[in-house]
Each structure stands twice: as structure tokens, then as C-alpha cells.
Chains A and B, each alone.
Chain A
């Protein structure tokens, strides 16, 4: 062991409020009520299929390889295994979180320095859907101790009315420690639009 000439530089006594060694993003919503003939006539009536996604970015703030670095229903696990998606829920069936993305930040590959978390409505344009129509849709981020760091109510909040996707928050590395910033940005772009932005 060499003597560290700059002693005390790495000693940080601050305690972060949250434990970000392991983070979970949870997305939930209610199954669409069947609206009958008239409902189908005027749009809606089809299932609401909300999708949770995580975009993994390097220092350059870009996706290295879009096949590896986007975690969503079409790619459930990162190549280093530290980030994984619970699977596509096509209707909102089930209580609580309907889709989850688990992130073991304390073992994530060094090349990633930022993770963008978001929600997108599948085929929103084709089905003519937006968050305002979905009941009890929420997205949240929970730390390693189960503490909720952020929660967005996508159904009740008028910011999401007429919108088809949103950026929920971002996780970023600061001096080897992961931190979280809640975003809650409503968007008109779907998932592929958001991904293109980071290519």
C-alpha cells in the first residue's frame, strides 16, 4: 500500500438520504374498461400497453450500441446482467407495479454514467391513446431500502394529458456514487423517438 499524498481528499462524511446501490423503477396502470361498441367506434376500447424503459448512456451522453443499451420489452437484460426488466405487461393486469426495471447500480459496468428512465404508450398513435385516458397510471423509483424517491401520477396530472410518453428521471454517476434527479417531462415522442435523440 503506497502512501496517499493527498490525504483526506477521498473522505466524504455526508450521508445520502437514499441508498442507490439497488434501484427499482415501477410502472403501474389499470386495465382499460371495455367501452362496448360506441367506445370502439370513437377510439380507445383497445388495451393500454404502457412500457417502462431505461436508456443506458456513457460519458459521451450517447448510446454506445442501441441493441445493448436500451432496456425495454424487446431487450430485457443488460449485457452485464445488472439491469433487468420484469417483462412486458400488455394490459395493466395485476395490482401494484405492472412492469419493473431493476438496476444493481453498485455492480453496473464502468462505461455507463447515466441512465434515463421513462414510460411510453405502445402504439399510442395507431390506437389514438394518451395518458389522460389511462386510469391510475403511475411511475415511481424506489431505492435499496424500499424508500420511494419519486412518484408521478400520470393519470391525474394534467401535464400528461394528450401526451404519449414521458421521461421519468435520470440516474447519474457522481464521483463513483450514483444519484437521482426526478424529471417528469411529458413528451409527444414514442420510445424510438427518444432513443434516436441519444444516438
Chain B
């Protein structure tokens, strides 16, 4: 049963899901079933920011070329370049108890790889979604339908987990962009 969350809304996870330790980010989509289409390659990434709003070290940007954060708290389970497979095609696991104390927020981003070259946007990607869930109970905290809600866009800053007074809270940002992953790197590195 998912918590209905509106764009911009914030949830205090410590209150809504007390004892929440392990959070999963799941990204799913269907393969490009058209005869002439190029694969849809969606990517889940996490930027782990210190108090200055930037990653303290390159390895705190977890993505397909850097699957593990240095503190061991964030693990990307691997790049799926086509969407093949049912359910979540890319998963990032976050163990909130292991997050380095210097990290104050985690930004969750979804992008379409090479969207410009391939002339793709989320509207073309069938059944594409991004969700965040409690890994232990598999309860969904928030979910966005990318095909519907970001149809003309190629990147979404989906949400942020931030630590306030020792409690983790989730802010459903839901901001779409016509940009690639580089623009987030420029912003957070």
C-alpha cells in the first residue's frame, strides 16, 4: 500500500515508517518493442551531498560507473541498458544506518542515456516508473509514472532523502528537465 504523495510533499519517514533502515530505489521500464527503435536505456543515480550541497568526493555520486558509495551505504545493483526483465530493472539499495555522518542528503535522479542522440523522452518509454520503497517490508513510499508525468522530459530529479535532527525525511521533488546526467554532475559536484 503506497503512501500517496504529491509533488513537493515531504514525509517524515521516522514517523511514517518508524524503524526504517533500508530504502530501495526501483526503476522500471519496458523494452523498445518497435522494429526500428533504439533501446531505451534509463539510469538511476544517487548524489550524496554534504552540508555545502555538493558531493564531498567523486565516489559519493553512485551511478552505473560507480556502483558503491565509499561508506558502504549505497549500492547500485547494476546497469540495465534495455529494460529487459519484469519489475524493477535497476535497483539502488540504501542502508540509512551506514550513511557517513557528513552526508546530509541523498538526491535521486533518473535519466535517459544519450536521450539527445537517440531523440528519446520518457513519453516514449512504456510503463516507465521510478519508486522508492522500504526494503524490509516492500512498502512503497513514493512512485512516479515517468511516461505520464514527464512525457516530454529526459531527466527527473525524483526526490531527496534528507536528515533533519537525526531523522530521515523524504521530499518528493518531482522536477523534470530536458537535460542529461551531466547537468546534475555540474550542479552537485
Measuring CB to CB, which residues of chain A are less than 8 angstroms from any residue of chain B? Answer: 1-4, 7-13, 15
Contacts and interface: CB of A to CB of B under 8 A. Distances in A.
A92 B41 CA distance: 41
A10 B58 contact: yes
Interface string B150-189: 0000000000000000000000000000001110010001
A4 B58 CA distance: 7
A2 B50 CA distance: 13
A4 B56 CA distance: 7
Interface in B47-83: 54-59, 61, 63-66, 70-71, 79, 81
B100 interface: yes
Contact of A7 (B41, B55, B180, B181): B55
Most buried by A among B41, B57, B64: B57
Contact of A11 (B79, B100, B189): B189
A10 B61 CA distance: 11
B79 A7 contact: no
By Cβ-Cβ distance, the 6 closest A-B pairs, closest first, are A8-B189, A10-B58, A4-B57, A7-B189, A11-B58, A1-B70
A110 to B, nearest CB: 20
B189 A15 contact: no
B113 A15 contact: yes
Contact of A13 (B57, B70, B102, B181): B181
Given A13-B182, A13-B185, A15-B64, A3 B58 contact: no
A11 B64 contact: no
A11 B185 contact: yes
Contact of B57 (A1, A12, A15): A1
Contact of B100 (A1, A8, A9, A13): A1
Given A1-B70, A1-B100, A8-B189, A15 B56 contact: no
A12 B81 CA distance: 17
Contacts of B70: 1
A105 B182 CA distance: 28
Nearest to A9: B58
Given A4-B56, A10-B59, A11-B185, 14 more contacts: A1-B57, A1-B102, A4-B58, A7-B189, A8-B189, A10-B58, A11-B61, A13-B63, A13-B65, A13-B181, A13-B182, A13-B185, A15-B64, A15-B79
Interface residues of B, number: 24
A9 B79 CA distance: 22
B56 A3 contact: yes
A17 B178 CA distance: 24
Contacts of A1: 56-57, 70-71, 100, 102
Contacts of B189: 7-8, 11
B184 to A, nearest CB: 10
Contacts of A11: 58, 61, 65-66, 185, 189
A107 to B, nearest CB: 15
Contacts of B180: 13
Contacts of A12: 65
A3 to B, nearest CB: 6
Nearest to A14: B65
Given A15-B81, A15-B113, A8 B185 contact: yes
A49 B81 CA distance: 40
Contacts of A15: 41, 64-65, 79, 81, 113
